[in-house]
Structure 1
């Protein structure tokens, strides 16, 4: 996500047409899917007689398919249009979420989550473009609204999963199917038809874009960071020994921190310290959270506290790494987004399954220590494009300075123009009065 908040205030970002609200609502539900299954992971393991590594495949199938499908989203939307891509993505999510809820084995759920991932890729890759294209108040306002939707979805997903999962493990899947069906109807009714792009995208564009060092470097940073992030998200619930409802409450607190630091914390820290320094701090913080869980994996309170605290660093990283990609990638934003999504979701998808296997062969400490090492390496990799990130910050500051100068100039000119108008009107009245006296 790019952050250009110069256009419009925070409140102005929420005065939007119905089409924008329809897509934003769908975004909330879509992002719920990321953490929705967290509270029910232990109950799935016990009720379906599955090992933790088998259960973590719910993340792996979902995210790996999402990653691969990112490569075709531009190709698809350039041929069928943005609205049609949204609708197809939502239909796929509704169908496969319902099928997952009706499943009878962990293998079936894993398979249907893969189908869910395909729909999610089509939807999330297109939703930002639709919001930006339909929103009032400029690009910055649209981005704020998109980030707010992301934050609400990530925070409320585990809570909904905990409440419905406390009734039955099937509840969260059916709940998403119903909510996405409402979002589908809203999208069909309120989002206007969009014309197909003049040029059709090639399916190879996102792969070819990896030839650019800056994009490849930031994408690898995203992969390594997501390895740590999804190690916590996918395996920490097994260490907490909590009910589905209590797990939902833990990850709700985590999600609130993700939302706050993604929407407010990241722009504030970026403006004060710059993108590189803020990202180094966030990555080191994420590595420490992983390491603490790894060292004290037997302490329930420490695992819960470190997991919730990791939301701070997840929020900062989600915003700033994506911003960095959009700022320094020498390709179109849609292509950069698809390339980055493909690489980083691979890391997010493989990490939970690897964590389960490492625990089975070694112990609870190993996957989190490995996650901490991966995130530290991410900071080192990112440092190789330090100069490009600094240049992007400088360019953004210069652009904002010019915009402010133009705005101040316009405000200064208004009284002068108004004064000239008053003088002209006064002279005209005097001329009329003289003419009447004559």
Structure 2
């Protein structure tokens, strides 16, 4: 990756809320805010289709499991594409990779808006995943390298963009989806054009003097996974993402709400995710340490999934559980992203690619599995299975905690 990226420090930064406030996380260059805005739009794509999943199933005459393939193809392509992001960005630069990702997202989301059958839509959604992989993996590196407030606060800013995108996405999806299920796809394409213009104007050109001496190869992410700590976080993320995407891709089918209703539920989910990722996660890490906080959040998330499995037919339980899950996932996302960035002595771009490859594999398997389990057995089983996978991630982390000591910092005297 570009040498403008900070090298991995020997000691991971503590997300100290006092320091964040003292130095001002909002005092960023215009280029950071341009990437931030583009991140919000890119992550809208994750939750954008949630409110329209039942409508797509109905209007395209598709089964639940077929519709959940919109998440499976998206995540599967993202997982594989993550492996080439570093290789590509080390050749065309961070800005070039970001703009390429935006163009691909815009093209495939627009084509999705004009498709007429579920299989075409599934394929186009996979193309959307390719663009998202190029953008998302590089955006984190861009924000970290362009930020003037340090890596820890740059990661918080990145997680805030994720949270805002994930929360606004369902709201926009519900609003546009109430008009037509095609609306959200065309809406994202339009917003991506705005993001492209913003990045083109505000993001600086690469400094020729700072071009990387060596180019990243396809093998680098696999070499990075030889570091036990990075491998542990990747596998744990794959396991808990099974629960994450069971909730995201399957829950809309059992809530019994229209597009607007689903949009508001996932708006609440995303808002909690955004707020906790920025304000609560740093305090948890500072007070209790990374590993304890992660395990606590994942355990609580697993319990929510279990409650959804036990009371699937009780609408308010499912709705409240989905919204509350945002808080636990928001905390965990910031904690694990910060830990991954400091897990191994490799460049952040390489660590991100290796970790993302593993976690999106879990995100690819879960949606279709959830739909099939519901069709073959009953509507409750997907949530129960999801809860089991999330708890397995906790067990895996605790079993390997001796390999994670260097990223597990608790505030002294607490």
Q: 2:147 aligns with which of 135, 138, 145?
A: 135
Q: 1:161 aligns with which of 163, 169, 173?
A: 173
**Residues in 1 aligned to 2:184 and 2:23: alpha-carbon distance in whole angstroms:** 32
Partners of 1:275 and 1:390 within 8 A in 2 = no
Partners of 1:5 and 1:140 within 8 A in 2 = yes
Partners of 2:155 and 2:338 within 8 A in 1 = no
Residue 64 in structure 1 maps to residue 76 in structure 2: yes
Q: 2:161 aligns with which of 149, 160, 172?
A: 149
Residue 248 of structure 2 corresponds to 233
Residue 327 of structure 2 corresponds to 312
Shift of 1:8: 5.0
**Residues in 2 aligned to 1:232 and 1:74: alpha-carbon distance in whole angstroms:** 30
Shift of 1:11: 7.6
Shift of 1:15: 2.4
Residue 170 of structure 1 corresponds to 182
Q: Please identify, of 139-148 and 299-308, the stretch whose mean Cα deviation from structure 2 is larger.
A: 139-148
Q: 1:46 aligns with which of 54, 58, 62?
A: 58
Partners of 2:51 and 2:262 within 8 A in 1 = yes
Shift of 1:124: 0.8
Residue 122 in structure 1 maps to residue 134 in structure 2: yes
Q: Please identify, of 51-60 and 264-273, the stretch whose mean Cα deviation from structure 2 is larger.
A: 264-273
Shift of 1:265: 1.3
**Residues in 1 aligned to 2:305 and 2:342: alpha-carbon distance in whole angstroms:** 28
Shift of 1:209: 2.1
**Residues in 2 aligned to 1:244 and 1:11: alpha-carbon distance in whole angstroms:** 42
SS class of match (1:248)? helix
Residue 403 of structure 1 corresponds to none
**Residues in 2 aligned to 1:163 and 1:210: alpha-carbon distance in whole angstroms:** 42
Shift of 1:388: 3.8
Q: 2:350 aligns with which of 335, 358, 364?
A: 335
Q: Please identify, of 153-162 and 193-202, the stretch whose mean Cα deviation from structure 2 is larger.
A: 193-202
**Residues in 2 aligned to 1:198 and 1:103: alpha-carbon distance in whole angstroms:** 44
Residue 296 of structure 2 corresponds to 281
**Residues in 2 aligned to 1:11 and 1:211: alpha-carbon distance in whole angstroms:** 36
SS class of match (1:13)? coil
Residue 94 in structure 1 maps to residue 106 in structure 2: yes
Question: C-alpha offsets along residues 357-405 of structure 1, whole Å, 9 cap, x if unaligned?
Answer: 11111111211111111111100100123234344334x869xxxxxxx
SS class of match (1:81)? helix
Shift of 1:311: 0.9
Partners of 2:255 and 2:319 within 8 A in 1 = yes
SS class of match (2:214)? coil
Residue 404 of structure 1 corresponds to none
Partners of 2:155 and 2:334 within 8 A in 1 = no
Give the alignment of 1:183-332 within 5 angstroms.
183-195=195-207, 196-332=211-347
Classify 1:87/1:51 alpha carbon distance in 2 versus 1 (closer, same or farther; 3 Å): same
Relative contact order, CA 8 A, sep 6+: which one is greater? 2
Q: Please identify, of 135-144 and 25-34, the stretch whose mean Cα deviation from structure 2 is larger.
A: 135-144
Q: Unaligned 5+ residue runs, structure 1? A: 399-438
Residue 385 in structure 1 maps to residue 400 in structure 2: yes
**Residues in 2 aligned to 1:9 and 1:298: alpha-carbon distance in whole angstroms:** 44
**Residues in 2 aligned to 1:87 and 1:228: alpha-carbon distance in whole angstroms:** 32
Residue 3 of structure 2 corresponds to none
Q: TM-score, normalised by structure 1?
A: 0.87
Partners of 1:64 and 1:346 within 8 A in 2 = yes
**Residues in 2 aligned to 1:47 and 1:272: alpha-carbon distance in whole angstroms:** 50
SS class of match (1:56)? helix
Classify 1:275/1:4 alpha carbon distance in 2 versus 1 (closer, same or farther; 3 Å): closer
Count of aligned pairs: 397
**Residues in 2 aligned to 1:324 and 1:8: alpha-carbon distance in whole angstroms:** 18
Q: Unaligned 5+ residue runs, structure 2? A: 1-7
Residue 402 of structure 1 corresponds to none
**Residues in 2 aligned to 1:192 and 1:33: alpha-carbon distance in whole angstroms:** 26
Shift of 1:306: 1.0
Q: TM-score, normalised by structure 2?
A: 0.92
**Residues in 1 aligned to 2:168 and 2:279: alpha-carbon distance in whole angstroms:** 18
Partners of 2:155 and 2:337 within 8 A in 1 = no
Kindly report the root-mean-square deviation, in angstroms, between the aligned alpha carbons of the 2 structures.
Answer: 1.8
Question: C-alpha offsets along residues 156-181 of structure 1, whole Å, 9 cap, x if unaligned?
Answer: 11111111111110111111101111
**Residues in 2 aligned to 1:117 and 1:160: alpha-carbon distance in whole angstroms:** 19
Partners of 2:23 and 2:149 within 8 A in 1 = no
**Residues in 1 aligned to 2:356 and 2:325: alpha-carbon distance in whole angstroms:** 21
**Residues in 1 aligned to 2:340 and 2:23: alpha-carbon distance in whole angstroms:** 27
Larger Rg, first or second structure (1 or 2): 1
Classify 1:317/1:140 alpha carbon distance in 2 versus 1 (closer, same or farther; 3 Å): closer
**Residues in 2 aligned to 1:137 and 1:335: alpha-carbon distance in whole angstroms:** 22
Partners of 1:257 and 1:315 within 8 A in 2 = yes
Give the alignment of 1:399-418 within 5 angstroms.
none
